[in-house]
Structure 1
Amino acid sequence: MDENFLIQLIKINVNNEDIIKFDKSRFSMFKSLFRIFGLSFFDNFMKQLDLLVHRKKHEKQEHRLAAEIVAGMIRGSKYWTLDMLDEFWHKLTLFLNEVCVNLSPDLFIYWGLSFRHSMENQDPRRVFQTINFIRRLIDNQPIINTFNEAFRSYLVQSLAARAKELLDHPSKLIRQMIATVLPVALQFDLTSFHGKPTHHPTINQFIDEMHHRLDQAIIICQRKSLVNHIAGTGIMDNEVHQALNLIELVVAIQGQLFATCNQP
């Protein structure tokens, strides 16, 4: 890729003042670019990304564009080989670590959305590297400050929010992964013996949200099961199937929470 062309592309998008939020159209453009051409332009973009996050002239626009490019890279890597992914994440992790250490309160929302969009509509086996990076980001805190802590909490909350949307997913594999991941995110609600502040998302909030959905699921099962029995079809209604999936997963999540609880 011609470097001057890429510089002009970056400049035009940074100076576009009409865009004030994370732009899904630009994200889709970068996703398609990396899905088609693989790592061909990766080094060119990494050079520009490094320049974007170190400039201070239009900091919000520059970080927003950088977040869109990174999200596009991650989603675009969906069909890459394992060797390509290893090379990609080795370089990208170094860049993201630096970004996370130097975030300001005005910027972490763009990067939170970047990770959220990068994991949408993905094969669960293809989000391992992304989740692994987030896990290391949470566990290893090189610099503890309010902004970094807020960013970590935002990422965990985004991941939990996405997982809660898939509680009745038809795929058993995805439900099993959620039953493993969501309790880990909810553990950040724990209050330690030293009185450290509670993190989001809270277990109480999750229980309140699930209470209403479980009530609806039980009503659906009772009503539809009776109708099917009367009709003598013996065929499980799709709505009943979703309700049963939800009930099964919530029970599994509760079991995981009890099994991994660190509080007496």
Structure 2
Amino acid sequence: MLKAVLLLKENLDISKFCKVTAYLKRKSTGYQPKKSKCLSRDQIDKFLLEAPDKEFLLMKVALIFGVSGACRCDELSRMLVDDIEDQNNVLIVHIPDSKTKKPRRFVVVDERNLATYRRYLELRPPSTPHKRLFLNYKKGKCTVQPVGLHSFGKFPSQIATYLGLPTPLEYTGHCMRRSSATLLVDAGGDITNLKRHGGWQSSSVAEGYIEESIENKLDIANKIQAGPKKRPFTNIETCPSTSSDSSEICCTEISTEIFDKKVKLDHKSLSGINIANISNSTINVNICK
């Protein structure tokens, strides 16, 4: 940031000063930037279900759109009614202008979310002189005044206060965008899906929006500590007989959970041994002459 500001304001490229760069790197060692806290899936569902519409309908719609599309506050404030395509069972939302100058689209599903959006849209005054989607909402009514950028930045803190979460002021305007990225990765999304979803070009920047959730830690702990599932052990050996013509093959399948079984096959009628549907197993073949 310092390099960009000096280059813009003073036309000075400090990247040529190696000692300055080394000094700034030493001073930034151990620095941890403050990031907004995230809302979990259960907390989002609780707010959408329990919060009264008369007071929180606007915040509900903003939360649905913000989490579904990993939207920034300025993207929500500039969103127009024409940017939303209602196809009965799904909403297709277009974000034509973003920070990276790269348009994005996202989809809103679930009948509950669609019903919440349509209830809010029905309250839009017919005399509204602009097409901004989010209008000021108070006591169950909408006015023609659009919602400002800073109001969207306060919504996550107010939602956290309603839910009784500790330190609600740490839920900033980036909360909905970070929550969306975290929920996507916890559900199994890879880095390509994450970058496409949020419009990030850098993988390191996109990964910075992911919060270390407890659900993700539990899943990793189960994979590490539980270990692989046990597989049945199979032992196949050729058993001796009194004459070479009557030698037989004894197949013993030992299952640690179900059964022990022996099958004898005549070597004259045996064209080969086929083993199927076995993985992570050890097969011992002993040929006795």
User: Does TM, scored on the shorter chain, surpass 0.5?
Assistant: no
Whose helix fraction is larger, Structure 1's or Structure 2's? 1
Whose strand fraction is larger, Structure 1's or Structure 2's? 2
What TM-score does the superposition give when structure 1 sets the normalisation length? 0.28
The structure with more radius of gyration: 2
